[in-house]
């Protein structure tokens, strides 16, 4: 097995960002068995067949890749900020949010900030307490919607996080999953990425909304909303 890493873990100003820096790698590949297709696993644990043409394979790499089924693997080209990268994130503090939420400085989190709902004293508006983010999807595909900030594991008793609902565009609101799944070891997400669900999106603009109806008995912390796609 070969381990391939990306060298772009921060922006030019040194700030840690979710997923690190997007990089497209070109690999020189020599399969161990011509009859067996090599595979590649990304840092989210997702595995796909490695498409090899004339001894070369182009793959996105946000942090590290694990390549199996090859006798030799090497990096022959590396392109920072390539459009081939399908994983991306939108910072919560860059969106719109209702009264009750506030931006806090949180070293270690993507961009060094999160948007938090702490106080019970601020009444909700007609739609409750909400955070809304607009983003561009580069490629039509099925994506996992992930949220940074506090891990959803905090919803387990004794609870230290208030639950919320979420939706994309004009779709129905989605409750949080009963079985919590988190992606760990992600730059800019100290508590990991909590997986909210899976959606099919067209290329172009979309809107993500996180909402809580009642005042928080426990804090709710929203970091970046991330979309991950593999294969």
Please write the tens of the pLDDT for every residue from 177-214.
878 777 777 777 888 788 888 888 898 899 999 998 76
Cα–Cα distance between 197 and 147 in angstroms, integer? 10
- Cα 167 to its chain centre, rounded Å, is 16
Q: What is the pLDDT of residue 111?
A: 78
Q: Are 136 and 127 in contact (CB under 8 A)?
A: no
Instruction: Say which range, 14-28, 42-56, 59-73, 191-205, has the weakest mean pLDDT.
Output: 14-28
Q: For the domain 88-228, what is the CATH code? A: 2.60.120.260
The CA distance from 50 to 26, in Å, is 12
Residue 80: predicted pLDDT: 61
Can you tell me the distance from the alpha carbon of 23 to that of 155, in angstroms, rounded to the nearest whole number? 34
Give the residue, 180 or 52, on which the prediction is more confident: 52
Interacting residues of 14 by C-beta distance below 8 A, sequence separation 6+: none
Cα separation, 107 vs 127, in Å, equals 31
**pLDDT, tens only, 4-36:** 555 444 343 334 444 544 567 888 888 888 888
Q: What is the mean pLDDT of the chain?
A: 76
pLDDT for 221: 63
Q: Which of 206, 57, 48 shows the shortest CA–CA distance to 140?
A: 206
Q: Given the DSSP bridges, would you call strands 220-228 and 193-201 parallel, antiparallel or unpaired?
A: unpaired
> What is the model's pTM?
0.67
pLDDT at position 134 over 80: yes
Q: What are 76-118's pLDDT values in tens digits? A: 887 765 444 456 678 888 889 988 888 888 888 877 888 888 7
- Residues 63-81 have a mean pLDDT of 78
């Amino acid at each position: 097995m070969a381990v391939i890493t990306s060298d772009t873990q921060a922006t030019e100003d040194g700030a840690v960002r979710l997923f690190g820096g997007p990089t497209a790698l070109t690999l020189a590949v020599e399969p161990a068995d011509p009859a067996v297709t090599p595979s590649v696993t990304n840092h989210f644990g997702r595995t796909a067949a490695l498409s090899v043409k004339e001894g070369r394979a182009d793959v996105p790499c946000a942090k590290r890749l694990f390549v199996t089924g090859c006798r030799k693997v090497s990096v022959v080209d590396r392109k920072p900020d390539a459009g081939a990268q399908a994983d991306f994130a939108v910072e919560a503090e860059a969106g719109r949010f209702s009264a009750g939420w506030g931006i806090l400085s949180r070293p270690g989190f993507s961009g060094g900030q999160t948007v938090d709902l702490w106080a019970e004293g601020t009444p909700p508006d007609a739609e409750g307490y909400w955070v809304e983010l607009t983003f561009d999807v580069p490629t039509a595909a099925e994506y996992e919607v992930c949220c940074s900030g506090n891990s959803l594991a905090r919803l387990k008793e004794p609870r230290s996080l208030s639950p919320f609902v979420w939706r994309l565009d004009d779709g129905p609101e989605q409750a949080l999953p009963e079985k919590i799944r988190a992606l760990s070891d992600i730059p800019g997400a100290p508590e990991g990425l909590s997986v909210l669900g899976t959606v099919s999106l067209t290329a172009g603009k979309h809107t993500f909304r996180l909402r809580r109806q009642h005042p928080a008995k426990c804090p709710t912390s929203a970091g970046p909303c991330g979309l991950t796609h593999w294969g």
